[in-house]
Structure formats: C-alpha cells, structure tokens
Amino acid sequence: MKFGVIIFPGSNCDHDAYHVISKHVGQPVDFIWHRDTDLSGYDALIIPGGFSYGDYLRAGALARFSPVMGAVREFADEGGLVLGICNGFQILCEAGLLPGALIRNRELHFICRHVHVRVETTETPFTTALNSGEVLYLPIAHAEGNYFCDDATLEELQREDRIIFRYTDAGGEQKDEANPNGSRAAIAGICSRQRNVLGLMPHPERACEDLLGSSDGRGIFRSLANTLAALA
Amino acid sequence: MPPGENAGVVDIGDGWCAAFKVESHNHPSFIEPFQGAATGVGGILRDIFTMGARPIAAMNSLRFGTLEHTEHGRRNRALLAGVVAGIAHYGNAFGVATVGGEVAFDDAYALNPLVNAFALGLVRRDQIFFGKASGVGNPVLYVGAKTGRDGIHGATMASAEFDDEALEKRPTVQVGDPFLEKLLLEACLEAMRSGAVAGIQDMGAAGLTSSSCEMAARAGNGIELDLTLVPQREQNMTAYEIMLSESQERMLIVAHRGRERQLVDIFGKWDLDAVVIGRVTDSGNVVVKHHGERLAEIPSRFLTDEAPLYERSMKPGREGGGVDDERVAVGGGLDLVSPAPPTAPVFDESSAESLQNYNDTLRRLVAAPNIASKEWVYRQYDHMVRTNTAVLPGADAAVVRVKETRRALAMCLDGNGRYCAVNPREGARLVVAEAARNVVCVGARPLAVTNCLNFASPERPEVMWAFSEVIDGMSEACRAFETPVISGNVSFYNETEGRGIHPTPVIGMVGLIEDVRRIVQHGFKREGHVVALVGETGEDLSASEYEGTIEGRTFAEMTKAGGRVPRLDLERERAVQSVVLRAAEAGLLQSAHDCSDGGLAVALAESCFSSLGRRGIGASVELRGALSSVAHLFSETPSRIIVSFEESARTRIEELAAEANCPLQIIGSTGGTRLLVSANGTECIAQDINELETVWRTSLGDKLRAEVLAAAAE
C-alpha cells in the first residue's frame, strides 16, 4: 500500500503526516507537490494541515483551484481514500468534496489545545479499528474550525451516518463547554457520501506517541492501514 | 562558531547542532503591536534558517504595563492582545512551534512594552552556512520578496526615545507575510542542499545596506551591486530607499560561480524572485550603482568591525537604596542585596501576620497576572506543529525532542526587571541562575545561553552603568554554570517621555536531555509520593510578588522601604542543580518544579494542578525552621526546587544531596484533593485544588475578556 502526502507551499504539517505513516504505520509514503497531477500508484492520500497558499483570503479558498486538487477529485471519485486534516478538511470543503464550511472559531482566536472527540461510527475506512462511542484525546490547532452547514445538510449528514467525530467532554458527553470552536452539532469530522473521503479538524498525526501527550490518533491510521490491507 | 554571525550554534551530539538566538522588537511592537510582534518573529526565524537550520521551536518574552492600571490599563490590555495575535499570526502560519516564554507585567513597561522573540533550529554539523561573501567573482543574488518603501529608517526609529509623535512613526514598521517566509525557508534550505550557495545572509535592520556590508566584511572582500536589478514593488524608488528599505522576507545569497541558474530554478519552484544583482570583488569596498551611476563606494569594514565605538560615561545609581527619582528606576550598589546569612527581616512582619488569612493570600497570588496561568496567551500559538513538543507551554522549561536522535532540548526565557532595577549585577546573576534552574527542572543539563539586553537610553550614565553591571553579573553566572553566551541582541532607548524601563536582561537558556525517557515535569504524578525541598528558604520577601500583590507596593515604594534582592550563592545554586539533575538522569524523580515568583506555596500549588491528561493531586506539607510563616510560604529565595519521588528513591536522593553538600528537607507527601500546608506547627493553607486551579487558570483570560469582546465588535 502506498500513501501520498500532498504539499501546498504553505502546508506545515506535511512532515508530521509523513513521519507518522513511515514511522508508526510503517508504510511507503511520498510527498506530492501541488502542481503534480498524476496520482496513479497511490492507495491513500493525506491533505495535511497548514496554510495552503497563505490562506489570507479564506482557508483553502485558493487551494481548491490548484492543479493537484483536480487529480484528487478524480482519485476520490474512483473510490481512493482521502484524509484531510485541519487545513486539509478546510480544503476538502472548499473543493466541494465534503459539504459545509469551516468558519472562524466562536471566540475568534486561534486555539491550540487537546480536546476530547467521540467516535460516532466505525462504518468508515478510517475508524474500523476504533469503537463507536470511544473518546479520543486529540490536539486541535486552528483559527477556522467552526463547522457550519445548513439544516438540510445537517439532516442529511445525520441520516447517512456521516458525522464521524464530535467534540465531547472526557466522559463522552456532548456539552457546549466541550465544543472548542462553536461547531454546529459539535461536529469535528465528517465523511463523503461514498465514505472514502474524511475531513477532521483535530490532528491525529500529533497524537501517535505517548511522549507527545497522547497516542489516541494511532487508531485512525491503523484503521486506514487495515482497510487498505484488506483491499489488497 | 564565533559570535557575530546571524545566530549562535552549539553541538548537541550525534552530528546535530542547534542554532538559536533571541532578539528584541520592542519599539515596532509599541507603535503597531500586531505587525511589530509578527515581524519580530519573522526576523528571528530568518536569522536561524540563514544558518542552514530548520526552525523547530520559538519562544517569546513579553513585558507590559499592568492590565488593571487605572489610566493605561486599556492600552496595556490592547497591546498584549495585539502582540499575542501578531506572534500567533506569523509563527502559526510559518509552521514553527511556539513552545514557551514568559509574560510579565510591571508599570515600568507601560510606555515601553518589551517583545523579545527567540527561535531555535536544527542543522547537521557539516551543513552550517555563514553570512560570508567568499570567492571573488561569485555572483550575488537577491532572493525573496520584492523591495518596497516599508520600514525605511526602521532601525533608527527603534534606536531612539519615544515622544508624543511615536504613533506617527507607524510607516516605519514593516508588514510581515508568514506565507512568503515559509516559501523562503523551504527554498533556502533546498538551495543550501543543492551545494550552489557559498554564503547567505538575511536582510534585516537597514536592509540591503547592512547585509551587503556584513557579508563583504566577514570575508574581507568587496561587493558591487547594481540596484537597477533589485526586484521592486513600487515605482521610482531612489537608491537611498532601495538600500535602506526593510521590506521583510528577503535574503542575499552569494552563489558559487556558474551555478546561479540552479538557484534561480529552485526559487522559481517556490514562486520566488532570485536575481543576480552584483558580484563579489577583491577591492574590500561595497560599491553601489544605480541607472549606470556609481553612487557609493565605501570599505565594508568601516560599516562593521571598524565602525566608530561609543565611549559612554557611567555613574552608579543612588547608593544605599531609596530611589527618590521615580523617572529613573535604577538602583545602587551591592548593599542592596540581602545580607547572608539572613538576619533580622527587612520585611515588616506584623502587617502580614495580622492578615492571618494565608488561604486568601494564596488565592490572590495565583490570580496575579505575573503568576496566573498564561494559557490565554499560549493557546493562541500552535505549540505542537512538527510533533516534537514533549513538554508543552506552562512548564519551567519547554522540551522539544530531536526526532533523529534519542535526545531532547529544553529551553526557557527568563528576565526579572525588578531585581535588576534594585541591583543590576545581582539581578543579572539571579536571572541566569533561574534560567539554568528552569532547564534543570525538566531534566536538562544547561548547554548555552542567548540574551536580549533591554535598557533605557545609554546616553544617561546611570543606565550605562547598569548595563555594564548587568553584563558583569551575567558573565560571572554564565561562567559558574559553564554556559557560553553564543548569541544575543541589545535594545537601547526603551524610554518614552523621559521615563525608562527597568534594566531588563532576558536570558534564553538551552539545555540538553540525553534520553527523552528522562524528561521530568512539574506536576505531581501520583498519590503517596514523597515531597521534598532541595535548597533552603530564607527571609526574601523584599521586592517579591508578595510585596507587590499582597502589600500593594509599587516599585518606588519597595525601594523606599529598603528594597533588596535575594543573595545568590552560586555554589549553593550549583549544588541544588546538580542534585536534581543527577536524580533526574538516574530516573529517580517523579516531578521537579522551580520555586520562584510567589514562593513555595505557589510552587506547591502549581505542582498540584492538573496537566495534560492528568487530574490535579493534593499534597500535605509541613514547613519548619526559624522563619515566619509568611516567609516560609511566600519568600522568593533562589536556589530552591520542589521535587517528588517514590519512597523507594528516598535514600538514594538523600545520598545525592549529602554528596553535593546540599540541603534537602522532606516536607510532605502527595495525596487527596486539597493542598494543606502548615508552617511551624500552625495550619496556614487548606485549599481545594480544583477551586484554586480554576482561579489560576481563568484569571488572565477574565481580565482580557473585555478586549476580546471589543475585537469581536470591530
């Protein structure tokens, strides 16, 4: 199985994603430059965190027009697995691969801290190794992570079981105080209708070692590797 | 590596080196807090990657006037909010983890906030680059952002006193673009790896002028520049403007002859300009041409090593304490140090004892902005990017692991303007000692120092005298800890309308941890551990946080009341640090925490508070000795560290202390949900940990809420 980490010039979590795949998942991984359009040979793509093209206008607003995103869309249409983390989630929403938008945090500041996130479903290629209702302790680091969508979209996401992660307290309870950025329905991560594209604001790649405070993120990468191994 | 380069570099083993430096951006941050602080971060990051090092950690030391000042409170809060937002804006987008630092409040900084930015990067020992224009005939390339009219005279603005018209100087503050800097970083590192770069230097203060002269002078060569070729974003710029522009995110590169095409391609990949604007000559002169006209020719060394030296006069501040002139907060000679051993307390005991409410005192101290959690600040910084941060902000020192090795680097920034104002030499020694102690508390061996010296106008003899004293004190302490000073920066003229700041040396200490598994943190780990004090408490309440917050004394009142700084015994300090370090390296410690602002009671409370994924743990502690209860609890005697360990480690730790001839007192044990402290047999403190922690954690944010709402309304 082969992973690709897409690099926009302002990506800054690219090395972190690469490190986790090569060190902790133990699989081959390449960097893919934003001007590349050939994604053949890859089984899964990671769109990492950062500030794609500076993001002065709106996070991910320019990245959706980049050459690589056209190829990512085709890759996803053909069922390829795409994981968008933080800025990656923002870009996937801007590109229309996921519904909704990520707006400015409720308190307007950039927030960097660990939060609790509940796994809502194991019915995705990214959560098979986790348990439904399990609470993960993952870092967030964003200024625009406040998930927003209209009522119809929210209803659809719920009906189709596409809300994958929600912000909760340590006990798994959904509370306003446990929602760090004001996201609608405490949404921290969603998947596409085909369930092969996942976007989430928390950084699982920052939580793969006890030395860094949590290794709860490993389950997501383990799920991904298990899924690909089963497909092979 | 010799000083005088863009940053200092130290060997950390396994073929790796750390490049680091701290630099001030005080004046720009006062005029325009957001951009001033942002470009301060940008400048220090460039200094690091100019050496070939990828920045992996940043810190900052910030000083403002008090947040609740009746007249200036609103501005002080706005300055803090703006500076923090600027640092976050730049560092987060650039992708460097802002892992720590300090934030302090004192009205001496009301009209001159201090913004000192630190950055550290990693570089292979054989891949360090220098700012040298070597190789006669080599092409000189301009890379990065285009030149505009911003920042002209920025450096001279920053080296003058402020007056009423300070805000009119806003156009001299540069505007930063972290995205461009990120491109520049990646392109420069790629260019260096290609082998086509002979020398590289960032264009900081005084832009093209200083970068070209410095590069030429370091190599003993000359440089010839044609300004017509410089990429410009504004029309009709004069040669003078081009030479002095401080537009951000630019570098000067000397390429190996014949390889300039390769560099242009690499920078092109990152959508950056790279243009040959001149060449290295053997004349020793910097020659500037514009539109075919030869406009300047000057030996490069005249503007660098052979620039005129100032001979400033010096005069001690008032002798024997008692600062009566409030405009100049600089104290006198050695008689302002607490006598050792402690004799009759200088501090007025009766008033404190009469309060009889130590619980309330502790609550007020943990809510004091200098002591309260700085979470409101560091939550706005991405402190985890690049997945190296092993000890997060809020600790004695931050720890960043070095991925390719087993090692980790500890780092902290420390300053204490109040102590240095009372006694500059002793104050400086205390600051260095505290910085070393802080890295020892996380289990690191102090390795090297960078420093930022913030002072008022050097044209005043008493300021110049304090400057000289501070350097002597620092130098003495650094020798004692065997920590070379490898880089730094001096910021003078921090005065407005004739009022100067306290002399404020800020020390950046970097330490090395050989094995990441031996990192120690300040929070108690489990119930039932032994709590001990390494070192000894003395009667040091003068000029303390207790005197400021609880007694409500201003600095002038403190000095009038005979303000003294604690006496630092360097032998004792080294003994304390060696005991803790040896215990940490042997894996004996469960926690270690420096006792500083607010004294033992505050340090104990901080060790009880919860931290990442760990609940708060109470402790019960009994303090004995010939001291008043107030001194036991709140005295700020240096050379003290609170440690906790398992009962089974006790004998070994006691042996280590005995070998080092270092006092060690077992003072209690961890457990329960409350912090219980008794002094001389009387119960003084009984506090629910969670309640106390909430006060500590929310105090700063609550004070700033008004500013947040105002920002939201805009």
- Please report the pLDDT score of residue B327 as a whole number: 39
Sign of the Cα torsion B603, B609, B612, B615 reads positive
- Please report the pLDDT score of residue A106 as a whole number: 95
Summarised one tens digit per residue, pLDDT across range B408-436 is 999 999 999 999 999 999 999 999 999 99
* Cβ contact B467:B503 at 8 Å: yes
Summarised one tens digit per residue, pLDDT across range A97-146 is 999 999 999 999 999 999 999 999 999 999 999 999 999 999 999 999 99
Residue in the structure block whose two tokens are 């005197």: B547
Summarised one tens digit per residue, pLDDT across range B302-335 is 877 777 788 888 988 753 333 334 434 444 333 4
Touching A: B residues 488-527, CB under 8 Å:
516
CB contact under 8 A, B178 and A51: yes
Touching A: B residues 327-386, CB under 8 Å:
378-386
- Please report the pLDDT score of residue B173 as a whole number: 73
B713 touches chain A (CB under 8 A): no
Task: Tell me the pLDDT band of B3, cut-offs 50, 70 and 90.
Answer: low
Query: Cis before residue B341, ω within 30 degrees of 0?
Result: yes
Search chain B and give the residue with CA nearest A210.
B390
B391 touches chain A (CB under 8 A): no
Angle between helix axes B178-194 and B73-94 (nearest 10 degrees) is 40
**pLDDT of B360 above 60:** yes
A213 touches chain B (CB under 8 A): yes
CB contact under 8 A, A12 and B612: no
B709 touches chain A (CB under 8 A): no
- Please report the pLDDT score of residue B540 as a whole number: 95
Summarised one tens digit per residue, pLDDT across range A178-223 is 999 999 999 999 999 999 999 999 999 999 999 999 999 999 999 9
Summarised one tens digit per residue, pLDDT across range B70-86 is 888 999 999 999 999 99
Largest CA distance in chain A: 45
- Please report the pLDDT score of residue A168 as a whole number: 98
CB contact under 8 A, A112 and B378: yes
- Determine the average pLDDT of the residues in B283-289: 94
Summarised one tens digit per residue, pLDDT across range B153-208 is 766 666 677 666 665 665 667 888 999 999 999 999 999 999 999 999 998 778 89
**pLDDT of B559 above 90:** no
Angle between helix axes B33-49 and B73-94 (nearest 10 degrees) is 40
B113 to each of A27, B103, B148, B463, B613, how far by Cα in Å? 50, 11, 28, 18, 35
Residues of chain A contacting residue B180, judged by C-beta atoms under 8 Å apart: 54
- Please report the pLDDT score of residue B319 as a whole number: 38
Task: Tell me the pLDDT band of B356, cut-offs 50, 70 and 90.
Answer: low
A206 touches chain B (CB under 8 A): yes
Quote the tokens at residue B304. 């660098």
Of B92, B186, B403, Cβ closest to residue A110? B92
- Please report the pLDDT score of residue B334 as a whole number: 36
Task: Tell me the pLDDT band of B344, cut-offs 50, 70 and 90.
Answer: very low
In a 3-state reduction of DSSP, which class is residue B418?
helix
- Please report the pLDDT score of residue B328 as a whole number: 40
Search chain B and give the residue with CA nearest A204.
B387
| Cα distance between residue B44 and residue B178, in whole Å | 12
- Please report the pLDDT score of residue A49 as a whole number: 98
Summarised one tens digit per residue, pLDDT across range B22-70 is 999 999 999 999 999 999 999 999 999 999 999 999 999 999 999 988 8
Q: Using alpha carbons, select from B451, B427, B334 the residue that is nearest to residue B638.
A: B427
Of B178, B383, B712, Cβ closest to residue A112? B383
CB contact under 8 A, A110 and B382: yes
Residues of chain A contacting residue B385, judged by C-beta atoms under 8 Å apart: 12-13, 16, 49, 141
A157-179 per-residue burial string, b: 16 or more CB within 10 A, e: under 16: beeeebbbbbbbeeeeeeeeebb
B613 touches chain A (CB under 8 A): yes
Summarised one tens digit per residue, pLDDT across range B486-510 is 999 999 999 988 889 999 999 999 9
**pLDDT of B372 above 80:** yes
Architecture of the domain spanning A3-231: 3-Layer(aba) Sandwich (3.40)
Residues of chain A contacting residue B93, judged by C-beta atoms under 8 Å apart: 10, 12, 50-51, 54-55
- Interacting residues of A188 by C-beta distance below 8 A, sequence separation 6+: A115, A117, A147, A165, A166, A167, A200, A201, A202
Best residue in A110, A111, A136, A210 for a mutation probing chain B (most B CBs within 10 Å):
A110
| Cα distance between residue B61 and residue B164, in whole Å | 26
Summarised one tens digit per residue, pLDDT across range A57-104 is 999 999 999 999 999 999 999 999 999 999 999 999 999 999 999 999
Paired sense of beta strands A81-85 and A197-200, if any = parallel
Q: Which residues of A are catalytic?
A: 86, 203, 205
Search chain A and give the residue with CA nearest B515.
A211
Search chain B and give the residue with CA nearest A14.
B386
- Please report the pLDDT score of residue B326 as a whole number: 41
Paired sense of beta strands A81-85 and A44-47, if any = parallel
Q: Is the ipTM of this complex over 0.95?
A: yes
- Please report the pLDDT score of residue B310 as a whole number: 82
- Please report the pLDDT score of residue B2 as a whole number: 58
| Cα distance between residue B139 and residue B152, in whole Å | 26
- Please report the pLDDT score of residue A54 as a whole number: 95
- Please report the pLDDT score of residue B305 as a whole number: 74
pTM greater than the 0.80 cutoff: yes
Sign of the Cα torsion B35, B37, B38, B40 reads positive
B2 touches chain A (CB under 8 A): no
Task: Tell me the pLDDT band of B711, cut-offs 50, 70 and 90.
Answer: low
- Determine the average pLDDT of the residues in A147-172: 98
Quote the tokens at residue A184. 């609608």
What is the residue-averaged pLDDT of chain B?
A: 90
| Cα distance between residue A150 and residue A158, in whole Å | 12
